[in-house]
Homo-oligomer: A and B are copies of this chain.
Amino acid sequence: MAERTDDADLTVAELGEFGLIDRLARIAHGAQRDPLRPEAAGAIGIGDDAALWTPRRGYHEVLTTDALIEGVHFRHTTTSWRDLGWKALAENVSDIAAMGARPKLAFVTLGLRPDTRVADLENLYRGFVDFMQEGLDGGIDLRIGGGDTVSSPVTMLSVTVVGALRGDGLRRAAGTDGDLLAVTGALGGSAGGLAVLEAGEASLGNPDVEILVDMHRRPVPRVLEGLSLAAAGVRCGMDLSDGLLGDVGKLAYASGLSAVVDIHTLPIPPALWRHVGGEAARMMALAGGEDYELLVAAPAGIVERASERLGEYHLEWPGSGYLAPLTVVGRLVAGTPGQVTVLDEHGQPVAPPRRSWDHFRSGGTGS
Contact = CB atoms under 8 A, between A and B. Distances in A.
A12 B114 CA distance: 5
A146 B31 contact: no
Nearest to A363: B151
Interface in A1-26: 8-13, 15, 17, 20-21, 23-24
A349 B125 CA distance: 42
A314 interface: no
Given A13-B114, A117-B9, A158-B67, A44 B146 contact: yes
Given A56-B59, A158-B158, A109 B152 contact: no
A273 interface: no
Given A11-B115, A11-B118, A65-B107, 15 more contacts: A12-B114, A13-B114, A20-B121, A23-B122, A31-B128, A31-B136, A33-B136, A45-B146, A53-B162, A55-B59, A65-B109, A66-B148, A69-B156, A72-B153, A109-B158
Interface stretch (A137-145, A187-195, A199-207): A137-145
Nearest to A115: B11
Given A55-B61, A118-B20, A151 B69 contact: yes
A9 B121 CA distance: 12
A116 interface: yes
B150 A71 contact: no
A28 B142 CA distance: 11
A163 to B, nearest CB: 10
B160 A12 contact: no
Contacts of A150: 67-69, 72-73, 359, 367
Given A11-B118, A20-B121, A152 B28 contact: no
B153 A24 contact: no
Interface of A is mostly: mixed
Q: Which range holds the interface residue count of chain A?
A: 35 or more
A145 B53 contact: yes
B151 A105 contact: no
Contacts of A129: 27-28, 30-31
A322 to B, nearest CB: 29
A113 interface: yes
Contact of A149 (B20, B119, B126, B132): B20
A340 B362 CA distance: 52
B147 A69 contact: no
B27 A122 contact: yes
A150 B70 CA distance: 11
B12 A113 contact: yes
B121 A24 contact: yes
* Nearest 4 CB-CB pairings of A with B: A13-B114, A158-B158, A51-B146, A31-B129
A109 B63 contact: no
